[in-house]
Amino acid sequence: MTQLRERLAELTDLRHAGQLLGWDQQTMMPAGGAASRAEVQATIERISHRLFVEAETGRLLEAAAAELNGAEPDSDDARLVAVVRRRWEKARRVPTELAAEIARAASLGHEAWVGARANSDFSAFAPHLARNVELAHRYTECLPEFERPYDALLDDYEPGVTSEEVTRIFAELRDELVPLIARVSAAEPVDDSYLHESFPVARQRELVDRVLRRMGFARDHWRLDEAAHPFATSFGCDDVRLTTRWDEHYFPGALYGAMHECGHGLYEAGIARSLQRTPLGHAESLGLHESQSRMWENLVGRGRAFARVLAPLVAELTGRPIEPDALFRAVNRVQPSFIRVEADEATYGLHIVLRFELEQELVEGRLRVEELPEAWNARFAEYLGLEVTDDALGVLQDVHWAAGLIGYFPTYALGNLIAGQLWRRVHADVPDLDEQIAAGELSGLREWLREHVHRHGAKFRMPELVQRVTGGPVQVEPFVSYLKDKLGAVYGLDLHDLRGDTQTRNPQGAESD
Amino acid sequence: MTQLRERLAELTDLRHAGQLLGWDQQTMMPAGGAASRAEVQATIERISHRLFVEAETGRLLEAAAAELNGAEPDSDDARLVAVVRRRWEKARRVPTELAAEIARAASLGHEAWVGARANSDFSAFAPHLARNVELAHRYTECLPEFERPYDALLDDYEPGVTSEEVTRIFAELRDELVPLIARVSAAEPVDDSYLHESFPVARQRELVDRVLRRMGFARDHWRLDEAAHPFATSFGCDDVRLTTRWDEHYFPGALYGAMHECGHGLYEAGIARSLQRTPLGHAESLGLHESQSRMWENLVGRGRAFARVLAPLVAELTGRPIEPDALFRAVNRVQPSFIRVEADEATYGLHIVLRFELEQELVEGRLRVEELPEAWNARFAEYLGLEVTDDALGVLQDVHWAAGLIGYFPTYALGNLIAGQLWRRVHADVPDLDEQIAAGELSGLREWLREHVHRHGAKFRMPELVQRVTGGPVQVEPFVSYLKDKLGAVYGLDLHDLRGDTQTRNPQGAESD
């Protein structure tokens, strides 16, 4: 066990070096450093992959498993061996040079994307995307045991989940969202003009700092920087890096972006110290990760209770008072829009369904890269009723495909659903949670999440953790029910009578235990 | 050759990852990240050292040497093999675990130093320094072929130079400086009150940005950040990172610190593209490196010609006009002071002699760490006539020993001397150089330096490069002669009649060709 842990500690260190290289590239690096950075990323991946897939790792795993014979199956050691064994079996099927090339192409692709998005120039980005798709395809060819090539990719971000399950869940979600959006769109529009005034970034930063501190951000363990596409990363629980992006003309963008990333950060910061410097010391399931970020961004940040905290802070920024309920309504306006990360919670799911469909078609050769903008725009018009006339507001808006993250998108929508399930569970466990939040006391929620989700790190795969915490599998109903409550309050409607209400269809929801 | 170059490229990538980890630690990392960062640094060093010292590297070197048989000895390939062979022979004598431990202790020591300096608390720093000294001692024990243990360390920073040579050169330098300082101290003091007003950092930053841009700083390849102890680093010629530190009450600190670091940056940015991603792609001799930084900081930045450029820029900061000659005099005031990096050019050398002596005594066991503050203060009083009452202004002021950089200090004073020699040489080659500088045109100097120094990277050791460019070895006379000219102008004195003037003693100086 000791030798295995030493090797895994070294691999974790390499992972942190690679993450720092990525963080720096997205926040600090001058553009000129891109070519050299891609080589360094490739080398770190090559060395790391080589060390991991060595037969010696397998021998150490065997020895550790023998040593553990009879140990508590949920112990750190037993789970460590199980998780590492699974990853090792997958990684060793992939040639080291392919792994390194994927890292190199991701780094170069990211840099090309920054320029292409700034100039709304898909052609500058297309060759990099084509390269990433080709490499993803070669990667999936190494893993023919997955039922579909796309599933080999999805498994990297959501281990143990298949595209078939996601498709089924998303169909159910879409059946809920479409009539919901239609009903709300027919109602009197919410006034959100208050949100669209201009404020200097330095002033917005004060607001964001105050909100993040309430969430748990502490200057001696966290940073907040700017990035073209906001993200969070951590080098263990004591060094958490958040990013957001600032828009002088729309302060909720930076605020909710930062709350979202801080949700990710709290997850990483909450992982047990006993798991640090091991592969269990970082969360594995991105669905769980997004459940945390989306919960803090939306269920807390755009919630009615937190509006009581936010309204006076926002009034300090704007210099004009605002009633908590007016703020609550404004930040929950439902309106189809172009940018996923700024979408309201009802239309958000459709942005994900669109990406999930397109990336499967790309990877499985049913859609060529050069056809992508047209396919994007056609489907966008179909799902969201808007005509995309600028690729920067369309296919170029997200960094993921540029950075080789194909198979990642579905985890956002899964995260929304899991957040809905956890939200119901925590309210059952902490009956006065809304009062706590309204009083600006967020530690009750944070500590509940730490206890039930964060501290486990990568010990449990998402379906298992969701089962442990909520008593059932991933479900659509709690999220949709939450959303109908919220939008009902925002628009003054009763939305629970809508066709397809899963509360009616699934009366035995596992959350009722 | 190809295989050797591939391995060296990978090692260079690892070096860049390590440098980024260090840069981040000093500029960005929250304090909480320190323990984890030290592990990552140790792992990168362990992997890098292991890969480098493998017998396979020796075989590749043998094969490359055979392949090169008869090649031009100054070719990139021939020099690469020679330099790498020398480093390999040294590195393989050192156990990998010791190399990793040195990296870990340096990272932890840096962090402890930041806190100890802030609190002027030597006791918080002493155990880390003791650890670094112990590791340095173990390191030197691996290398008994050096005449003195200290020489094994010095050789890492100034390959091919011994402490005996440095001692001889420093004795000569001290014989020059002491009467020079005495004479100038007896003269009417220069008025530098203009420099001691307070200005916001953001305004100082504008001044610094304008000066750096003239030097060659370009936003798409360079950055400037803040650090507790200013430094420069680069990840190849296209990504150069400078730091400085801001003092609201003394703007020359940030200005000259930034010019100093930009001098380092120009060196790294000027290394030939053909040497990138090889061990020759970074300068090796720190004496040469400091000759560049000290030249830009002092011979240019505090020079009479550049004062014509600087005076109007400074006047914009202060809101009060200043005559170039008044600025020239103010920034060259000679006065013994506590902080090395802010010392004038005459007393600077004494700061170095003191450190050079103390670090030899530490490494060779003649001085214990707990005796260091007293020894520092006693020698400081002897050399500079000042009583140190605050360790933050004394033994805690520099980061070097904290970060394991023992044997580094003498290179600063060597750098001053080499700068003096290069300065004489470039004036012979470019007769209107002062007019160019006075007109704000710095590219003539920069391109001369690039041609004669920068582009070679680590191809030549310092004594060889100095010989090639100036026709002789490192000499004291050109620097002292430059200093006498300058301080003579500042103080209205003729200083060339002073006892010990090397212009008289060395009439055949190599610079006279």
Eight-class DSSP state of B298: I
Contact B33 A239 (CB under 8 A): yes
- Tell me if A360 sits within 8 A of A150, measured CB to CB: yes
- Tell me if A307 sits within 8 A of A324, measured CB to CB: yes
User: Phi and psi dihedrals of A241, rounded to 5?
Assistant: -115, 120
Whether pLDDT at B502 is above 70: no
Whether pLDDT at B507 is above 50: no
Q: Cα separation of A384 and A365, whole Å?
A: 25
Q: Which of A111, A158, A165, A261 is catalytic?
A: A261
- Chain B positions touching A42 (Cβ under 8 A) are 13
pLDDT of residue A509: 37
Segment A338-355 shows an average pLDDT of: 96
pLDDT band at A511 (very low <50, low <70, confident <90, very high): very low
Segment A58-68 shows an average pLDDT of: 97
- Tell me if A102 sits within 8 A of A38, measured CB to CB: no
Q: Is B337 helix (H, G, I), strand (E, B) or coil?
A: coil
Segment B106-127 shows an average pLDDT of: 96
pLDDT of residue A70: 85
Q: Render pLDDT for A377-397 as a digit per residue (tens, 0 to 9).
A: 999 999 999 999 999 999 999
Q: In this predicted complex, what is the ipTM?
A: 0.94
Distances (CA, A) of A507 to A496, A501, A513: 14, 10, 12
In this structure, which amino acid lies at residue A451?
E
B82 vs chain A: nearest CA distance in angstroms? 25
The token pair at A141 is 């060819």
Q: Cα separation of A480 and A305, whole Å?
A: 19
Segment B318-330 shows an average pLDDT of: 97
Whether pLDDT at B395 is above 90: yes
A104 vs chain B: nearest CA distance in angstroms? 12
Q: Cα separation of B401 and B35, whole Å?
A: 19
Host H or E run for residue B234: strand B232-234
Q: State the burial class of residue A53 (Cβ atoms within 10 Å of its Cβ: 0-12, 13-18, 19+).
A: buried
Segment B266-280 shows an average pLDDT of: 98
Segment B186-194 shows an average pLDDT of: 95
pLDDT band at A147 (very low <50, low <70, confident <90, very high): very high
Contact A220 B40 (CB under 8 A): no
Whether pLDDT at B194 is above 50: yes
Q: Can you tell me which residue has the tokens 């170069």?
A: A108
Q: Cα separation of A227 and A230, whole Å?
A: 5
- Tell me if A239 sits within 8 A of B30, measured CB to CB: yes
Residues B15-51 as b or e (16 or more Cβ within 10 Å = b): bbbbbbbbbbbbbbbbebbbbbbbbbbbbbbbbbbeb
Nearest CA among A113, A22, A29 for reference residue B236: A29
- Tell me if B397 sits within 8 A of B338, measured CB to CB: yes
- Tell me if B288 sits within 8 A of B453, measured CB to CB: yes
Q: Cα separation of A479 and A419, whole Å?
A: 7
- Chain B positions touching A235 (Cβ under 8 A) are 33, 36-37, 40
Q: Which residues contact A202 (CB under 8 A, 6 or more apart)?
A: none
pLDDT of residue B330: 97
Whole-model pTM: value is 0.95
pLDDT of residue A497: 86
Tell me how crowded residue A203 is: count the other CB atoms within 10 A of its CB.
Answer: 14
Q: Cα separation of A369 and B187, whole Å?
A: 77
Residues B430-463 as b or e (16 or more Cβ within 10 Å = b): eeebeeebbebebebbbebbbebbbbbbbbbbbb
pLDDT of residue A500: 55
Q: What is the DSSP string of A387-440?
A: ----GGGTTTS-STTTTT-TT-THHHHHHHHHHHHHHHHHHHH-TTHHHHHHTT
Q: Which residues contact B105 (CB under 8 A, 6 or more apart)?
A: B38, B128, B131, B132, B135, B404
Whether pLDDT at A506 is above 90: no
Show the 3-state SS of B196-211.
HCCCCHHHHHHHHHHH
pLDDT band at B70 (very low <50, low <70, confident <90, very high): confident
Contact A238 B13 (CB under 8 A): no
Tell me how crowded residue A302 is: count the other CB atoms within 10 A of its CB.
Answer: 22
Sign of the alpha-carbon torsion through B338, B340, B342, B346: positive
Closest Cα in chain B to A38: B13
pLDDT of residue A504: 41
In this structure, which amino acid lies at residue A32?
G
Segment A142-152 shows an average pLDDT of: 97
Eight-class DSSP state of B224: E
Nearest CA among B483, B467, B466, B477 for reference residue B508: B477
- Tell me if B494 sits within 8 A of B473, measured CB to CB: no
B89 vs chain A: nearest CA distance in angstroms? 24
Contact B235 A40 (CB under 8 A): yes
Tell me how crowded residue B319 is: count the other CB atoms within 10 A of its CB.
Answer: 9
Closest Cα in chain B to A28: B223
The shortest CB-CB distance from A223 to any of B21, B30, B220 is to B30
- Chain A positions touching B13 (Cβ under 8 A) are 39-40, 42-44
The shortest CB-CB distance from A32 to any of B21, B47, B238 is to B238
Q: Cα separation of A383 and A377, whole Å?
A: 10
pLDDT of residue B402: 94
Distances (CA, A) of A67 to A87, A89, A496, B220: 20, 20, 55, 54
Whether pLDDT at A510 is above 80: no
pLDDT of residue A356: 98
Q: Cα separation of A126 and A130, whole Å?
A: 6
Computed over every residue of chain A, the mean pLDDT equals 95
Segment B247-258 shows an average pLDDT of: 97
Q: What is the DSSP string of B67-81?
A: HTTT--TTSHHHHHH
Share of chain A above pLDDT 90, in %: 96
Would you tell me the crossing angle of helices B477-491 and B345-363 to the nearest 10 degrees? 140
* Residue count of chain A: 513
Q: Which of B158, B176, B261, B268 is catalytic?
A: B261
Q: What is the DSSP string of A276-345?
A: TTSGGGS---HHHHHHHHHIIIIIITTSHHHHHHHHHHHHHHHSS---HHHHHHHTT-----S-GGG--H
Q: Render pLDDT for A220-261 as a digit per residue (tens, 0 to 9).
A: 999 999 999 999 999 999 999 999 999 999 999 999 999 999
Contact B39 A239 (CB under 8 A): no
* Residue count of chain B: 513
pLDDT of residue A42: 98
Residues of A with CB under 8 A from a CB of B: 9-10, 13-14, 16-17, 20-21, 24, 28-33, 35-37, 39-40, 42-44, 46-47, 219-223, 235-236, 238-240, 276-277
Q: Cα separation of B418 and A374, whole Å?
A: 63
pLDDT of residue A507: 37
* Contacts by residues B147-153 (CB-CB < 8 Å, ≥ 24 positions apart): B148/B360, B148/B364, B149/B363, B149/B364, B150/B359, B150/B360, B150/B363, B150/B364, B150/B407, B153/B363, B153/B406, B153/B407
pLDDT of residue B69: 87
Q: Can you tell me which residue has the tokens 């949920």?
A: A74
In this structure, which amino acid lies at residue B270?
G
A134 annotated active-site: no
The shortest CB-CB distance from A32 to any of B29, B39, B220 is to B220
Nearest CA among A354, A408, A415, A414 for reference residue A380: A354
A96 vs chain B: nearest CA distance in angstroms? 14
Eight-class DSSP state of A190: P
- Chain B positions touching A220 (Cβ under 8 A) are 30-32
> In chain A, what are the helix, strand and coil shares in percent, each to the nearest 5?
65, 5, 30
- Chain B positions touching A40 (Cβ under 8 A) are 13, 16-17, 20, 235
Centroid of chain to Cα A159 = 15
Size of interface A-B (CB pairs under 8 A): 115
The shortest CB-CB distance from B223 to any of A9, A17, A28 is to A28
pLDDT of residue A156: 98
pLDDT band at B499 (very low <50, low <70, confident <90, very high): low
Could you give the dihedral angle defined by the CA atoms of residues B248, B253, B254 and B259, in that order, rounded to the nearest 10 degrees?
A: 160
- Chain B positions touching A47 (Cβ under 8 A) are 10, 14, 47
Sign of the alpha-carbon torsion through A302, A305, A310, A315: positive
Share of chain A above pLDDT 70, in %: 97
